[in-house]
């Protein structure tokens, strides 16, 4: 006997039970389809979660690389700033030293000129004093008629000294 036989009475209890069972099966199929859709959705969400987690890991790696790159650039800049500071300090010290040397050279030149002028003045003054002493001695000797000074050349012939008085 078939399910849809002409002899089947649609009002029969068996038909009602089958229809009820068919409804339950439809509900079960619908539930299973929902579960399957939910399972499919869960798999999609798990894939999306794994993709998102991989993207997060990639972004963290990229972030760490950028962070390290920034730190390296910062260290390089700090190093360059330190080198520039040392160079400027060296240049400043060299300029100070050069200025001191220039001042010392100027002072030395001025002192040498002053020394030469002073020596010239002392030499001139000394020569005048000697000339005046000679003139004074000559005048004194000229005014003393009874005194004669004899001069004798020394053996080297460079200086004269009085030998005696008569």
The pLDDT assigned to 104 comes to 92
Taking only the tens of pLDDT, the chain with its 166 residues reads: 455 555 555 567 888 888 888 888 888 888 777 777 778 888 888 999 999 999 999 999 999 999 999 999 999 999 999 999 999 999 999 999 999 999 999 999 999 999 999 999 999 999 999 999 999 988 887 777 554 455 554 444 555 555 555 4
The pLDDT assigned to 51 comes to 94
pTM assigned to the model? 0.41
Q: Which helix (H) or strand (E) holds 130?
A: helix 13-143
Q: Give the distance from CA 139 to its chain's centroid.
A: 83
Calculate the alpha carbon distances from 106 to 19, 96, 101 in Å. 125, 15, 9
Checking phi first, is residue 157 left (phi over 0); if not, alpha (psi -120 to 50) or beta?
left
């Amino acid at each position: 006997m078939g399910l849809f036989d002409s002899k089947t009475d649609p009002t029969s209890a068996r038909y009602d039970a089958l229809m009820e069972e068919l409804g339950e099966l439809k509900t079960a199929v619908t539930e299973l389809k929902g579960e399957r859709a939910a399972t499919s959705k869960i798999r999609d969400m798990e894939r999306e979660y794994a993709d998102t987690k991989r993207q997060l890991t990639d972004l963290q790696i990229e972030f760490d690389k950028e962070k390290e790159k920034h730190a390296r650039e910062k260290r390089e800049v700090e190093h360059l700033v330190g080198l520039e500071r040392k160079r400027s300090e060296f240049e400043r010290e060299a300029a100070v030293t050069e200025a001191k040397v220039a001042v010392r050279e100027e002072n030395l030149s001025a002192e040498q000129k002053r020394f030469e002028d002073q020596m010239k003045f002392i030499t001139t003054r000394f020569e005048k004093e000697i000339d005046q002493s000679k003139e004074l001695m000559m005048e004194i000797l000229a005014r003393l008629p009874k005194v004669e000074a004899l001069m004798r050349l020394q053996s080297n012939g460079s200086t004269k000294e009085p030998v005696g008085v008569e």
